[in-house]
């Protein structure tokens, strides 16, 4: 995993689909190889196993294999298996908070807030995975906007699988109004991406540099989403 530059930081987000690829195989080693190829000191994950039978934990394994610390929040508890969102980090972690975004009678959702130190700077990273229904997402975005502040941080990054395919939908409009417009990069489905479900926002908006989709053969095979990599730039 590459070390962060002084004024440019690569941040990735990826829905790994429980490490199940387009071939129907569950292959965590394949996911780990893709993560290692991203060169990102911060990697946000969705649909990742936070605990499994016999104490196995995919997010911990992915962190160890790539030399990264990890934080996670469980959103779905299947007994032996627990799934949720995570952040892998090569940067020192200052503190971690979790926020419940669940809507009654719908699949549980959450946001993971991790504050990291990037040299003398403090960066707030919020990882989330929103619901499948429009009304559900509207409630979740309103809650997110009430939670995510800028106090005590030099930059705030909100990223994840937003599940919003309506480019004119209210959740996207509200997020763009707060953070500035997020580039729409087609990341789903991985074999033939047509939808921009995965997004990155920053505050201040000018801190967001290039945003690219990683459309390699390995990434296409590893999940039903493609990874998204963004560059965060802050002046000295």
Q: What is the pLDDT of residue 87?
A: 97
CB 225 within 8 A of CB 207: no
Find out whether 142 and 111 touch, Cβ atoms under 8 Å. no
What CATH number should be reported for the domain holding residue 87? 3.60.10.10
Inside any domain, residue 3: no
* Confidence at residue 56, expressed as pLDDT on a 0 to 100 scale: 63
Residue 76 has a pLDDT of 83
Indicate the number of domains in the chain: 1
Q: Let me know if residue 1 belongs to a domain.
A: no
pLDDT at 158: 97
pLDDT of residue 49: 84
Q: Residue 52's pLDDT is what?
A: 61
Neighbours of 6 (CB within 10 A): 11
Tell me if 117 is assigned to some domain.
yes
Per-residue pLDDT of the chain (236 residues; tens, 9 = 90+): 556 667 899 999 999 999 999 889 999 999 999 999 999 999 999 999 876 665 568 899 999 999 999 999 988 877 777 789 999 999 999 999 999 999 999 999 999 999 999 999 999 999 999 999 999 999 999 999 998 877 789 999 999 999 998 777 899 999 999 999 999 999 999 999 999 999 999 999 999 999 999 999 999 999 999 999 999 998 76
Domain that holds residue 58: 9-233
Phi and psi at 9, nearest 5°, equal -125, 125
Q: pLDDT at position 5, please? A: 63
Q: Maximum distance among all alpha carbons in the chain? A: 48
Residue 78's pLDDT is 75
pLDDT score at 4: 62
pLDDT value at residue 61: 92
Q: Is residue 158 part of a domain?
A: yes
Q: Is the pTM for the entire model greater than 0.85?
A: yes
162 domain residue, yes or no? yes
Residue 4, in any domain of the structure? no
pLDDT value at residue 3: 60
Do residues 200 and 2 lie in contact, with contact meaning Cβ atoms separated by under 8 Å? no
Residue 205 lies in a domain: yes
Q: Is 156 a member of any domain?
A: yes
């Amino acid at each position: 995993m590459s070390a962060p530059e002084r004024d440019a930081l690569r941040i990735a987000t990826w829905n790994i689909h429980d490490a199940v690829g387009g071939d129907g195989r569950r292959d965590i080693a394949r996911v780990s190889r893709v993560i290692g190829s991203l060169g990102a000191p911060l990697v946000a994950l969705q649909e990742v196993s936070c605990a499994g039978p016999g104490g196995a934990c995919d997010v911990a394994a992915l962190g160890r294999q790539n030399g990264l610390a990890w934080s996670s929040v469980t959103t779905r508890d299947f007994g032996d298996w627990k799934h949720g969102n995570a952040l892998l980090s090569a940067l020192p972690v200052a503190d971690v908070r979790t926020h419940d975004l669940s809507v009654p009678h719908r699949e549980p959702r959450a946001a993971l807030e991790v504050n990291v130190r990037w040299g003398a700077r403090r960066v707030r990273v919020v990882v989330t995975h929103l619901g499948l229904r429009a009304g559900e997402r509207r409630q979740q975005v309103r809650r997110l906007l009430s939670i995510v502040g800028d106090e005590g941080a030099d930059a705030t990054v909100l990223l994840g699988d937003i599940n919003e395919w309506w480019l004119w939908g209210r959740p996207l409009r509200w997020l763009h109004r707060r953070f500035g417009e997020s580039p729409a990069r087609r990341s789903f489905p991985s074999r033939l991406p047509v939808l921009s479900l995965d997004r990155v926002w920053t505050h201040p908006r000018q801190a967001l540099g290039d945003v690219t989709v990683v459309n390699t053969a390995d990434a296409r095979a590893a999940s039903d989403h493609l990874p998204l990599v963004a560059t965060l730039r802050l002046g000295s």
